[in-house]
Structure 1
Amino acid sequence: MTGELRFDRRLVAPMLVGSVLNPINSSMLAVALVPIGVAFGVPPSQTAWLVTGLYLATAVGQPVMGRLVDLFGPRPLYLFATSLVGIAGLLGALAPNLGVLIASRVLLGFGTSAAYPAAMSLIRSEADRTGMDTPAVILSSLSIANQVIAVIGPTLGGLLIGLGGWHLIFTINVPLSVICVILGSLWLPRTTRARGAGELDYPGAALFAATLVALMLFLMHPQLSSWYLLVLALVLGTAFVITQLRVMEPFIDLRVLAGNRPLILTYTRQVLAYVGAYSFLYGFTQWLEESRGLKASSAGLLLLPLSLAAVVVTAITGRRAQIRGKLVFGCAFLVFAAVAQLFIGTSTPIWLLAVVGVIAGVPQGLNNLANQTALYQQADPARIGSSAGLLRTCVYVGALISAAANAHFFQHGATTAGLHEMAIFLLIISGLLVLVTSIRLPK
């Protein structure tokens, strides 16, 4: 019997269900921004904070939760965080105004931040126990779950809105939270020993969080009048680096990270890949509703081919641990998607819009799978949780950059001209991704 067959399959269900909480909440909102704006009588510039709030909380929460997983083990963090998801979902469903709704998204961000680092920690522990090198099937299952849910999210969100309004995209978190808590209580091991030693570097974590928040707030409104946020981010970031180099157990071991060039390139690729993915997802979806005149449910259904493309490509390539081919084809299809978006207009046939979605779905399936496998091979096993958390932080840094671009290009509405400007931005990002990928491809 091979080591891969000895993997404790009871762990798979809580890992998969928990890890999809974040992408499903990220992607379902794509078709809900317009209905929520109408319900509260607010413009897109304000509903954008629903996206930003979750991404800020997640970008900060993922490495913090990941480090806590390294220190205390995956079970307690998983159960606590997934419980928060149900509370946040209920708060969002009952929100009387946009401010409370944004608060619920922030809480969702923190609540969904523990499951993925916990899953990567469990995979590493099981791989060590069973003697697996790179458990490609398990890693691909995790990637498939995340990528498929991320791209199915808009379709699911559209169906839920059609059934009962935008409130349902928050309410659905309550049963999902209950499922996670039950599965985690039943099957997550109580005796999994944390790999890290020592205590959480609280000053380092606080400085990291403050730096990231200041930087992301600037990126949301990159104007000369907001220069102080960029300066603040630089000052806080400098203080963060100094403290991390002085403490024995840093929040992020910058010495080790600086010497791990392949891992730095993996993080960079992840940021660029998700700037591209979310720029297309949010830009294309809002344009379908505002300029193409589709209802939220119809826009969600039109994104279904994108979802299917990601499912198929991830399933076909997921059993192989190789990284090089996935990155090359992921880059190429992101370039194709950017070029195709340049030629979209209000008279473009529906079937052709679906084809463009298919093109955009391929890199979403390939890039995340390749970068996740690369991280598993490159990260220090003792810090696999925090390393995985940083990979997810890269996802939401990319998402925040794309949200800033979305707010800029669609500041007067999701027009066709704005969509074409977004396509040029996407082409630049995909070109940078090609450049970074060509520096050094993992074997």
Structure 2
Amino acid sequence: MNARNWWLMVSVGLGILLNPLNSSMISIAIPRLQNVFQLDITVVFWIIFCFYIASAISSPVMGKASDLFGRRKIFLTGLVVAFVASAIAPLSPNFGWLILFRIVQSVGTSMIISAGMAIIRMNITEKQATAVSVLTIFQSGAAAIGPFVGGVLIHLWDWPAIFFVNIPFAVASFLFSWLTIPKDEKPASATHSMSFRAWLDLIDASGTLLFTVGLVLLLVGLLSVKSSGHVSIIQVIVGLISFVALGAFVRHELKTVSPFIPLRTLAEYPEITWVNVQSIIVNLILFTLFYGVPSYLQMVRHVSEFHTGILMLSLGLCSFVASPLAGRWIDKSGPRPALNVAAVLMTLGSVWIVTLNQTSPVISVCLSLAAFGISNGLNSVGLQAALFKSSPKEIIGVASGLFTTSRILGAILSLLLIGVIVGAKFSFGGFRVLGIILTVISLSLVFMSRRRRELRAIRRE
């Protein structure tokens, strides 16, 4: 791989890390924000929900936009949006404004990821697994060390620092990318003469609205039931509306010419479907750990933000070491062996959580975090390599955006799982139940992978 490609990967990587860094740093800030704004933990969770919902909505749209209007243009614009949101968010007068700026930040970082992955796919054609492993050092490494970085920043300068820290990364990525990313090909002239109605159809505004309404109402209904402890008529109505909206969304996506989430493409390319399903499950497990362990350490074991960040660093270091090794392994053997080993490690880490008791040293949590860290490095490289392998070049932007959405849906499900199991306040019993659930999910992933290998063997025969 030549020097130009290495600089291209660094330029894109510095921007791509902003999304996972911001999605994981906030995990350490939850108890602090709860105290500052005097809110229930299920309400504070909305600062995470809004980030992921905005990413889930904007990632496919921006992936499509990068295919049509230029990946370099979308990437650089995303950096500017993320810079502005990160600079203004700490000045928020209340929690509502903070959520608004988190949404803007999420849209900007989603533009960066959707366009950035497509830029690498189109410009680096040899040793793509190695290229993916380098990006994973930025992406999954940033997600893994985010709790440590957040803990240190909050300890030294309080919660606004987790927004200001984005600024140097955004500036560096913009400057390097301006010099290294090749200029976009001229877009089709038809895109310049579109009417406003045609633009809405192109980004599937109707499907986006149905997806947003259905997902938000579903989260509101489930979390309000857990918070109040009983089911009211209003909550039932909210739940029914959410299911109707999501059902209408699926029907609309199957019929529309330019879908928000291309369900027909998923049916046409089953390998892409499998990669995204596995990504949802993997991220459900990983983010339950991301948000569950810091809250458990701070609220149940009364560990400080600083020391919680240090304990969480074991996950980040293991992920950081595993990613480049995974890249070389996958270049030789393909993604499947690495993904199988990752599933086993997640199972072992989940079982270890279940074995903990109220007198276990907090340092023992690091053994579970180490297992998840290694699996995170293997999964991040393996799943993206599998995505590149199964995606035709002409839809790589859409596929990258869809892959980001699957990761986000896994994270949203993890927060929903924590909210439903734990409720308003973390407890040791709730943490153990989470461990049991993660063990069951991890085991199901192992069996699913085994069954899939058997089916492929049968088809070859």
TM exceeds 0.5? yes
Any residues of structure 2 matched to 1:74-223 within 5 Å, and which?
74-127=71-124, 132=126, 135-192=128-185, 201-202=201-202, 204-219=204-219, 221-222=221-222, 223=225
Is residue 2:389 matched to residue 1:380? no
State the partner residue of 2:447.
Answer: 435
- Partner residue of 2:420 out of 390, 408, 415: 408
| Distance in 1 separating the partners of 2:203 and 2:20 | 29
Is residue 2:28 matched to residue 1:24? no
- Cα 1:257–1:246 change in 2 (3 A) is same
State the partner residue of 1:392.
Answer: 404
- Partner residue of 1:50 out of 34, 47, 51: 47
- Partner residue of 1:370 out of 371, 376, 382: 382
| Distance in 1 separating the partners of 2:327 and 2:147 | 23
Is residue 2:294 matched to residue 1:291? no
1:178-205 Cα offsets, whole Å, 9 max, x none, are 2233223232222346699967644624
| Distance in 2 separating the partners of 1:234 and 1:383 | 30
- Cα 1:270–1:300 change in 2 (3 A) is same
| Distance in 1 separating the partners of 2:13 and 2:55 | 18
Q: Aligned Cα RMSD in Å?
A: 2.4
Q: Which runs of 5+ in 1 are unaligned?
A: none
1:337-391 Cα offsets, whole Å, 9 max, x none, are 1111112233211332222211221221111221111100111211111111111
Question: What is the aligned residue count?
Answer: 436
State the partner residue of 2:323.
Answer: 314
Any residues of structure 2 matched to 1:4-43 within 5 Å, and which?
4-5=1-2, 8-43=5-40
Is residue 2:363 matched to residue 1:351? yes
- Cα 1:425–1:221 change in 2 (3 A) is farther
| Distance in 2 separating the partners of 1:271 and 1:244 | 20
One-letter code aligned to 2:314: P
Q: 1:286, CA displacement in angstroms? A: 0.3
Q: 1:404, CA displacement in angstroms? A: 0.8
1:216-269 Cα offsets, whole Å, 9 max, x none, are 541454356544455445544454455545555544443332021111111100
Using the aligned pairs only, state the percent identity: 28
State the partner residue of 1:67.
Answer: 64
Q: Greater shift after overlay, 157-166 or 241-250? A: 241-250
One-letter code aligned to 1:160: L
Q: Which runs of 5+ in 2 are unaligned?
A: 192-197, 226-230
| Distance in 1 separating the partners of 2:96 and 2:121 | 40
| Distance in 2 separating the partners of 1:146 and 1:316 | 15
1:149-168 Cα offsets, whole Å, 9 max, x none, are 10100000011011100110
Give the number of the structure whose residues are more often helix, by fraction.
2
Q: 1:65, CA displacement in angstroms? A: 0.7
| Distance in 1 separating the partners of 2:107 and 2:279 | 20
TM-score scaled to structure 1, two decimals?
0.91
- Cα 1:183–1:210 change in 2 (3 A) is farther
TM-score scaled to structure 2, two decimals?
0.88
Q: 1:144, CA displacement in angstroms? A: 2.0
